[in-house]
Structure 1
Amino acid sequence: MIFMMIIEHDLPFSFVEHRRFKELLQYLHPDVKVPSRHVATMNVNNLYDFEKKKMKCMLSKVPSRISLTSDVWTSCNSEGYISLTTHYVDANWKLNSKMLNFSHFPHPHSGREMAKVIYGVLEEWRIEHNFFSLTLDNASSNDKMQDYLKERLLLHNNGLVSGEGLKVVGPSIKKIRESIKNVKGSEGRMKVFKACVAKFGGIHTKMGLHLDVITRWNSTFLMLESALVYRRAFCSLVFDDRSYSSCPTNEEWERGQKMCDFLRPFFQIIELISGSSYLTSNLYFMQVWKIECLLLQNLSNEDELIRTMANDMKTKFDKYWSDYSNVFSFGCILDPRFKIKLLKYCYSKLGLDPISCQAKLKVVEHKLYTLYNEYVQIYSKETISNTMATTSTISIAQVDVMNVSQGFT
């Protein structure tokens, strides 16, 4: 109880050593052992760790998606702080709000730094897979932060799929990676390499050489793409730089080309979904569907390595994306260019039999109509209250829900 009191009332740890507090405890129980501030500190930290583990366990069992709210501010003494609160509906349909983070946040309060902190909290609490939305104020830095965070989250989930495929190709691209490291290792080597580039001519030098981060598959794609542009220059470098001994063989270059061609559509899809200057909710369903189609096509690829990559990626895809989010399916349906006919077409191209295809469509339709009816009820109540003030208002409840919703199909 003492330690809970320290936490709840924001008391200093030294409070337990205050003379009057000790007298109170001894008055209540003469034989009481009053803890020291060091014991109080240890017990408060233990209590925090216990509650944190319990909270992690609870969040891992949340049946719904988790939404977040965050704020950054500067105190009167110019110290920056950031908070992050989670909101979710539990199995009993009760709305819960829990603060996950309240910490010191030194300047600069840039979008990149904010995204780094927020994503770190998501990873720490293991909710990055179940994250749905983030609500912020209108600070200008939040616009950039959303872009960075969206990229990290999309690359995380899709990277789990693509990264799974890259596990089997490590040895195949090792020499390409080492070649770029060699050239970028010193100014002298880069100078010799540029001379090789100039010797051949016709090489698009604006691209430059990219060295990948092994844990980020999109950077591996960019590395392969840039290295392939300079393939002839690397082959020439073998004769001009005696220290260069990691030049890939023709077979390894061809393998790199195949991997680059295989990863390119995935990279383009992630770039499209990551856009911030246009709506993306209506694009989500079709892009995830394209990823699944690409994987299915390459399960029978003639190249064994690509086939193995596709198989591993499909396994990971089924784990995270087997059921496309119904909310984003709604975005596709409400797009007047697509509607529900697109979903029917997409499902049919995945090799589903007509019965399974129809079952999936019925689930999406049912949830869409359910959501629509909830809004009808909400606005019907508002309309009824308004008719008490003016008889000219027509209740939205009079609208035939099914007739209106037929516009979606």
Structure 2
Amino acid sequence: MQGKLKPRKIDQGVFRELYCQLMMRRGLPFKFIEYPEFRSLITYLNPDATPFSRNTSKADMLRIFNRDKIKLKTELATIPSRICLTSDLWTSCTTEGFISLIAHYVDLNWKLNSKILNFCHMPPPHTGFELSKKIGDFLQDWGIEKRVFSITLDNASANDILQQTLKKQLVLQKGLICDGEFFHVRCCAHVLNLIVQEGLKVLDDALDQIRTSIKYVRGSESRMIKFKQCLEKISDINSSSGLCLDVPTRWNSTYLMLQSALKYQRVFASLQLIDENYKYCPSDEEWERATKICKFLQPFYEITTLISATSYPTSNLYFLQVWKIQCLLMKNLVDEDKVLKDMAELMMQKFQKYWDEYSVILAFGAILDPRMKLETLGYCYERLDSLTWKIKLEKIKEKIYKLFSHYSSQGSSISNVQK
């Protein structure tokens, strides 16, 4: 007769480590370990498991953090490449400010890494000077103040002071390439959001009607039932996608809202006939305007999706996408439709504020892509301006040769030291 299997002996250290991983990855509260139901489950699985308190769990997590921090600091100290940074401020629902700092680098195996170095409370004031001081402290703590290549920030006014102050500090420490000429990079996704938001101001009335209609339908279960009844009577509409409501600060959600609402245009018209309280149905003219705008915004949505990707490098794609944006705006500046023309004019003003001359760093990404190189830049510049394109191209060549000379001299000095 086969004997009973003996329960596996518990390694208390492994158990606590795995529990901390569960807490960190799933955002569980510290007191979860003290829930009677959870302790009963652990005891049932193995009576030898020793329960521990939330304070022990907190201490374990701090120990794991310090261990992994030392490991990451060692890795950052050994990689041969420079480190690119991104930083942002975030306000919680309790109005507390938090600041984040992320490092992007290529490791010894040529793998692109993104690591959150810091995410911590940022007490007021949130001035550019205080923010630069905070980030400077982060860099010193990680020992990378002389390893930075660039920092990418959004276009908040405080960030201009932040990057200027931080750049001066790092240049004094001889920590930046070419005296920080390539240090500051504007967040392309944020700039694109500002540009499109500027254009959407033309559509306030039509957008408000569509937004209010969706809010009305989603406002109660009875309204949703009426809406579905109207939908069932119109058989040729694909109802697999629901109604989307936008977030005002994210223009791409506004595009998705328009896209979803246009599918149900006839359903909204039908709802107006059976629901006397529904008084927000857009007019035919407003629906037509929304259709044109949705078509106009589609390329911008596709570009935003492309450059916001996180699973593959996108630096080589930025220049060509920004060029496409400028081409689209120039084309619509002479559109016969007054609404599209007005949108393009507002968007072009914003575009020229940030991207009149494309960021040099973005151009470098295109040049280093074997599929594009300098010839593609020349073609793009010539399409936009046949008179000055050569001057712009020469300027970019001068900058990239300057950067190459810096790395070349560094390589020579390293070789001499090794000899």
Q: Distance in 2 between matches of 1:310 and 1:327?
A: 26
Q: Distance in 2 between matches of 1:97 and 1:380?
A: 33
Structure 1 residue 302, shift from structure 2 partner: 1.1
Q: Distance in 2 between matches of 1:283 and 1:120?
A: 19
Aligned AA (1:336): P
Structure 1 residue 246, shift from structure 2 partner: 1.2
Residues 82 and 102 in structure 1, CA contact (< 8 A), matched pair in contact too: no
1:170 aligns with 2:204: yes
Q: Distance in 2 between matches of 1:129 and 1:288?
A: 25
Partner of 2:234: 200
Partner of 2:133: 98
Residues 155 and 187 in structure 2, CA contact (< 8 A), matched pair in contact too: no
Q: Please point out which of 326, 343, 367 is paired with 2:399.
A: 367
1:261 aligns with 2:299: no
Structure 1 residue 205, shift from structure 2 partner: 1.7
Partner of 1:82: 120
SS at 2:236 equivalent = coil
Partner of 2:408: 376
After superposition, where does 1:100-249 map in structure 2 within 5 Å?
A: 123=156, 125-127=158-160, 153-249=187-283
Q: Please point out which of 311, 326, 342 is paired with 2:376.
A: 342
Structure 1 residue 251, shift from structure 2 partner: 1.3
Deviation digits for residues 48-69 of structure 1 (CA, Å, limit 9, x no counterpart): xxxxxxxxxxxxxxxxx98658
Structure 1 residue 318, shift from structure 2 partner: 0.1
Aligned AA (2:303): I
Q: Please point out which of 312, 316, 321 is paired with 1:287.
A: 321
Residues 122 and 128 in structure 1, CA contact (< 8 A), matched pair in contact too: no
Residues 271 and 278 in structure 2, CA contact (< 8 A), matched pair in contact too: yes
Going from structure 1 to structure 2, the CA distance change for 1:339 and 1:274 (only over 3 Å counts) comes to same
| Number of aligned residue pairs | 269
Task: Tell me the C-alpha RMSD between the 2 structures.
Answer: 3.3
1:321 aligns with 2:394: no
Q: Please point out which of 306, 309, 314 is paired with 2:343.
A: 309
Partner of 2:12: none
Aligned AA (2:400): L
Partner of 2:53: none
Aligned AA (1:98): K
Identity over aligned pairs, percent: 44
Deviation digits for residues 250-285 of structure 1 (CA, Å, limit 9, x no counterpart): 111111000111111111101100011111000000
Q: Distance in 1 between matches of 2:357 and 2:295?
A: 27
SS at 2:282 equivalent = coil
SS at 2:371 equivalent = coil
Aligned AA (1:379): G
Q: Distance in 2 between matches of 1:351 and 1:176?
A: 39
SS at 1:70 equivalent = strand
Residues 330 and 368 in structure 1, CA contact (< 8 A), matched pair in contact too: yes
Residues 66 and 130 in structure 1, CA contact (< 8 A), matched pair in contact too: no
Going from structure 1 to structure 2, the CA distance change for 1:120 and 1:294 (only over 3 Å counts) comes to closer
1:70 aligns with 2:101: yes
Going from structure 1 to structure 2, the CA distance change for 1:247 and 1:326 (only over 3 Å counts) comes to same
Deviation digits for residues 152-184 of structure 1 (CA, Å, limit 9, x no counterpart): 954421111111111111012221111111101
Residues 83 and 102 in structure 1, CA contact (< 8 A), matched pair in contact too: no
Residues 200 and 233 in structure 1, CA contact (< 8 A), matched pair in contact too: yes
SS at 2:194 equivalent = helix
Structure 1 residue 101, shift from structure 2 partner: 9.6
Partner of 2:311: 277
Structure 1 residue 208, shift from structure 2 partner: 0.8
Q: Distance in 2 between matches of 1:214 and 1:286?
A: 28
SS at 1:206 equivalent = coil
Residues 83 and 101 in structure 1, CA contact (< 8 A), matched pair in contact too: no
Structure 1 residue 386, shift from structure 2 partner: 2.1
SS at 1:280 equivalent = coil
Structure 1 residue 122, shift from structure 2 partner: 8.4
Structure 1 residue 102, shift from structure 2 partner: 9.0
Structure 1 residue 83, shift from structure 2 partner: 6.7
Going from structure 1 to structure 2, the CA distance change for 1:340 and 1:129 (only over 3 Å counts) comes to farther
Aligned AA (1:349): R
Aligned AA (1:125): A
Q: Distance in 2 between matches of 1:257 and 1:331?
A: 35
Deviation digits for residues 192-213 of structure 1 (CA, Å, limit 9, x no counterpart): 1011111112322222111122
Question: For structure 2, which runs of at least 5 residues remain unmatched after alignment?
Answer: 1-83, 88-99, 103-117, 123-130, 139-151, 167-185
Structure 1 residue 130, shift from structure 2 partner: 6.0
- Between 1:184-193 and 1:165-174, the stretch displaced more is 165-174
Deviation digits for residues 346-384 of structure 1 (CA, Å, limit 9, x no counterpart): 01111331xx11110111101111111111110101112
Residues 285 and 332 in structure 1, CA contact (< 8 A), matched pair in contact too: yes
Question: For structure 1, which runs of at least 5 residues remain unmatched after alignment?
Answer: 1-64, 72-79, 85-95, 104-118, 134-151, 388-409
SS at 2:198 equivalent = helix
SS at 1:242 equivalent = coil
Going from structure 1 to structure 2, the CA distance change for 1:130 and 1:221 (only over 3 Å counts) comes to farther
Q: Distance in 2 between matches of 1:184 and 1:240?
A: 16
Residues 128 and 153 in structure 1, CA contact (< 8 A), matched pair in contact too: no
Q: Distance in 2 between matches of 1:265 and 1:129?
A: 33
